[in-house]
Each structure stands twice: as C-alpha cells, then as structure tokens.
Amino acid sequence: MIRQVRISDAESIAEIYNYYVLNSIVTFEEEIVTTEEMADRIQAATAGKSEGADNLPWLVAELDGEVIGYSYATKWKERVSYQFSVEVTVYLTPALKSQGWGTRLYSALLSELNHYSPKINAVLGGISLPNEASIALHEKFGMKKVAHFKEIGFKFNRWIDTGYWQKILNNHI
C-alpha cells in the first residue's frame, strides 16, 4: 500500500534513511538523523502553506503494516522563479530493493505532482554516481540526464560525481 506520510512514520523513515547515511553515497549526509529530526522534516514539508511549509507530497510504502520505503518532493530552489520546479527522491528498505517498490512510489508521487496546485512543471532527480539502479528508475519515468557535476561531493574519503535527471510535466500555467 502507498499512502500519505504521517508524523508517526518518522522512526521507520529515519531507520531506512540512516542505513544510506552510514553505508552509501546515495546521500551526502554523514550524521544519522534522529526520529525527532525526521519528524521535523516531515512536518516542515507537509504542513499547510499558511504555516510557511512547502505542502508538497511525501508518500510511504507499507508492506504487512511496516513502512518499507518513502518518496517525496522538495522545492528545487528558494527563488520565486523556481516555484514550479521540484526535486524528487525515493528510499527503500535495503532488503526490498529491486522488487518494484521504487517504481510504485515514483509512479504515485509523479501522479500527485501532475495534479498539484500550483502546477509543477519541472521534476528533477539528483543521483550520486555511479548508481545504475537509480538511473534506470529515473529513466523508466522518462527523465533525461541534464547535468553531470564532477567530484562535487566528498564522502567515505573519496570524491563523488552527481548527475541530474529531469522531466517536464507540461503543466504550463
């Protein structure tokens, strides 16, 4: 099942995310995120606009009542001219990678973004390279590589490239 995130999901989400913080280059964070910090992130992303939040979609995947993955959209940049552009991401419990859950989460997320108001026009996904699985997932949804930054991150004592994939939703104003 894929559903809207709840604050009560913060512990499970932090657990999933922290695996990647500690064991991969997928995220450039290096310190684990507490349940409280994750709850704050969820609240900031999903609260109503009147409260100063982005109010962008954040979804979770559940299997047998357990959160096994999540996907969300964030503002691409702060400047007002970027208000119709978002960055998307997906994280899965490592044991359930390559079982279609990333596809299901991105499909639901992109569907929500297609109906979002104000209209979202550009969707971007940043990928730490190399990462063939993530590239394949983004390209499955019609995203095309638009940027490649050489040695932009440094984690685990090595330089890491990052690429960006983009899709235009054609939600013109």
Per DSSP bridges, beta strands 158-168 and 122-129 are antiparallel
Q: Is the pLDDT of residue 37 over 80?
A: yes
Distance CA 91, CA 113 (A): 18
Segment 17-34 shows an average pLDDT of: 97
Distance CA 162, CA 115 (A): 29
Instruction: Evaluate whether residue 94 is within a structural domain.
Output: yes
100-131 residue pLDDT tens: 899 999 999 999 998 876 688 999 999 999 99
Instruction: Evaluate whether residue 173 is within a structural domain.
Output: no
**pLDDT the model gives residue 55:** 79
Instruction: Evaluate whether residue 136 is within a structural domain.
Output: yes
CB hemisphere CA count around 27 (13 angstroms): 18
Residue 75 CA from chain centroid, whole number:
11
49-86 residue pLDDT tens: 444 446 789 999 999 999 999 999 998 998 999 989 99
116-172 residue pLDDT tens: 766 889 999 999 999 999 999 999 999 999 999 999 999 999 999 999 999 998 766
**pLDDT the model gives residue 54:** 64
CATH code for the domain in which residue 116 is found: 3.40.630.30
Instruction: Evaluate whether residue 156 is within a structural domain.
Output: yes
Instruction: Evaluate whether residue 99 is within a structural domain.
Output: yes
CB atoms within 10 A of CB 21: 17
Range of the domain at 125: 2-168
Instruction: Evaluate whether residue 64 is within a structural domain.
Output: yes
92 vs 99: which has the higher pLDDT: 92
Total domains in the fold of the chain: 1
**pLDDT the model gives residue 98:** 72
